[in-house]
């Protein structure tokens, strides 16, 4: 009963001094608002960054590309190597310990579809390319091993190319002409990366390009056994260096000891970049938490000042209550409840404003701005903690007064 009486008198005091209480609440409301919005934005940015990195399709990937031999001996032996070829895919898949192996060739040509014409890059890839580079389709399907073996003229359009050629129409099943050959659209590739993370021109070219089965590419667009790029994927992060060494050994053996290739350990570079990004995001979190903490601290100073004023105004009430038997604990609880109720009210108002602002800002983020429950919990928790801390010293001062001191004041 004493607790609820303290709550009642607290709100009566707040209502009795509206201007003073309102100005005090402003600091707590702004501090809580800052916590909610900043935590939500940081969490949203983290999600977008990690989804963007994953969408680029570099996790665990290594590239094997063609290059000129580096030593005089290798230059003399170069005629014994066939260069990067489709057979290297089979050799790596057979002898290497990888999650998947893929090959790619590319050329620039003109695509015609639905009366539109564009100059695009056509990628001839093996079906495993989707696994290696973490590619998905937003409509239709990706071509499979049967399409590859039958050399079917099927194509997966990049996300932006599908829009520029067909607009809002469904491109699935539509014919497109690549050079002199007609291909059927069987899928539309999902967007690569996002506004927070991209890899420059590579992702943009692919989203404006076309993917076709490698064997169909060789049969209808450009012949030959040579390929531009080999890709291997390994999920064992602690073995990237060993996987790179194994890849170099296997390809060199297939090329009769000629080092006419280069293995680029993209996976290791991405792993290091992710560590740097984690450090950067952690620093952002610390800075924003400090800003929000300062805002709440200002609110706490306001609560402390209000309680000191309230204490000075209510000395007679305190002396009278103690004279008729009120304990130190009852006085302490009354003032602590007043400070925490004031801060909790400000916290609730700040959280409400935070919800409104995050909804208004969500349109500025590609993936929206989902409200972070952590932000709400921290906002309310810090607000109550600040109010409790700010009320301790005034409450102790009031509780330790003797009836004579209070009545004399």
Q: Which residue has the higher pLDDT, 94 or 215?
A: 215
Model confidence, pTM: 0.68
Q: What are phi and psi of 9, to 5 degrees?
A: -65, -30
> Two tokens at 54?
């994953």
Using CA atoms, how far apart are residues 409 and 398, in angstroms rounded to an integer?
12
| Residue among 258, 227, 238 nearest 85 (CA) | 227
Within 13 Å, how many C-alpha atoms sit on residue 184's CB side?
12
Confirm if 303 and 342 have CB atoms less than 8 A apart.
Answer: yes
Count Cβ neighbours within 10 Å for each residue of 226-238 and write b for 16 or more, e otherwise.
ebebbbbbbeeee
Residue 286 pLDDT class (50, 70, 90 cuts):
confident
Q: SS3 for 107?
A: strand
Residue of 179, 188, 182, 180 whose CA lies nearest to 210 = 188
18 contact partners, CB below 8 Å, separation of at least 6: none
Give the model confidence (pLDDT) of 300-333 as tens digits.
777 777 777 777 777 777 777 777 777 777 777 7
Render the burial of 271-308: b for 16+ CB within 10 Å, e for the rest. Answer: eeeeeeeeeeeeeebeebbeebeebbbebbebbbebbe
Q: Which of 59-63, 106-110, 289-293 has the highest mean pLDDT?
A: 106-110
Average pLDDT over residues 254-264: 79
Position of tokens 């209808």? 220
Which pair of tokens denotes residue 241?
């260096």
| 258 SS3 class | coil
For 310, the 3-state DSSP assignment is helix
How much is the mean pLDDT over the chain?
81
Cα separation of the two ends of the chain: 28
Q: Give CA–CA dist 41/80, Å, rounded.
A: 58
Query: Which runs of E-coded beta strand occur in 71-199?
Result: 100-113, 116-125, 137-140, 154-157, 175-178, 181-189
Q: Return the higher-pLDDT residue of 102 and 268.
A: 102
Query: What pLDDT, in 10s, does the model give residues 26-77?
Result: 778 888 888 888 888 887 777 777 777 777 778 888 898 887 666 676 666 6
pLDDT at 199: 60
| Contact (Cβ atoms closer than 8 angstroms) between residue 338 and residue 307 | yes
Which among 32, 49, 68 has a CA at the least distance from the CA of 295?
32
Q: Do 17 and 292 contact (CB within 8 A), yes or no?
A: no
What gap in Å lies between CA 21 and CA 306, rounded to an integer? 8
**pLDDT tens-digit readout, 345-354:** 888 888 888 8
Q: What residue ranges in 46-145 does DSSP mark as E strands?
A: 61-66, 100-113, 116-125, 137-140
Give me the residue spans of the domains in the chain.
Answer: 2-54+273-408, 61-266
The yes-or-no verdict on residue 175 having pLDDT over 90 is: yes
Most confident listed range (82-91, 207-216, 295-304, 360-369): 207-216
The number of residues in the chain equals 409
In angstroms, rounded to a whole number, what is the distance separating the alpha carbons of residues 293 and 155?
A: 54
Q: Residue 409: is its pLDDT beyond 60?
A: no
Please state, in angstroms and as integers, the Cα–Cα distance from residue 175 to each residue in 179, 185, 186, 205, following that order. Answer: 13, 6, 10, 21
Cα separation, 154 vs 157, in Å, equals 10
């Amino acid at each position: 009963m004493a607790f609820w009486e303290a709550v009642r008198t607290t709100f009566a005091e707040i209502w009795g001094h509206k201007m003073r209480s309102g100005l005090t609440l402003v600091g707590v409301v702004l501090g809580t608002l800052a916590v909610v919005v900043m935590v939500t934005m940081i969490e949203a940015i983290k999600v977008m960054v990690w989804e963007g990195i994953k969408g680029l399709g570099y996790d665990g990937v290594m590239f094997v590309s063609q290059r000129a031999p580096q030593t005089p001996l290798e230059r003399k032996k170069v005629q014994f190597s066939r260069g990067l070829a489709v057979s290297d895919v089979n050799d790596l898949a057979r002898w290497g310990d990888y999650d998947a192996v893929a090959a790619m060739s590319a050329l620039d040509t003109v695509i015609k579809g639905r009366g539109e014409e564009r100059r695009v890059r056509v990628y001839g890839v093996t079906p495993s390319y989707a696994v290696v580079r973490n590619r998905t389709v937003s409509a239709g399907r990706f071509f499979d091993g049967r399409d590859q073996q039958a050399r079917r003229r099927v194509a997966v359009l990049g996300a932006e190319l599908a829009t520029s050629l067909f607009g809002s129409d469904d491109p699935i099943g539509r014919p497109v002409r690549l050079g002199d050959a007609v291909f059927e659209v069987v899928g539309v590739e999902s967007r690569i990366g996002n506004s927070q993370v991209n890899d420059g021109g590579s992702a943009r070219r692919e989203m404006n390009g076309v993917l076709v089965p490698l064997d169909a590419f060789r049969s209808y667009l450009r012949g030959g056994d040579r390929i531009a790029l080999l890709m291997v994927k390994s999920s064992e992060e602690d073995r990237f260096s060993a996987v790179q060494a194994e890849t170099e050994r296997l390809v060199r053996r297939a090329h009769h000891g000629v080092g006419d290739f280069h293995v680029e350990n993209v996976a290791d570079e991405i792993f290091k970049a992710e560590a740097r990004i984690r450090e950067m995001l952690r620093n952002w979190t610390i800075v924003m938490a400090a800003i929000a903490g300062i805002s709440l601290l200002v609110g706490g100073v306001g609560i402390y000042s209000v309680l000191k004023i309230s204490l000075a105004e209510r000395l007679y009430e305190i002396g009278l209550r103690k004279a008729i038997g009120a304990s130190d604990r009852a006085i302490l609880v009354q003032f602590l409840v007043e400070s925490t109720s004031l801060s909790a009210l400000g916290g609730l108002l700040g959280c409400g404003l935070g919800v409104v602002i995050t909804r208004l800002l969500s349109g500025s983020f590609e993936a929206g701005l989902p409200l972070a429950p952590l932000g709400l919990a921290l906002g309310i928790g810090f607000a109550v903690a600040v109010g409790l801390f700010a009320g301790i010293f005034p409450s102790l001062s009031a509780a330790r007064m003797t009836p004579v001191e209070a009545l004399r004041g």
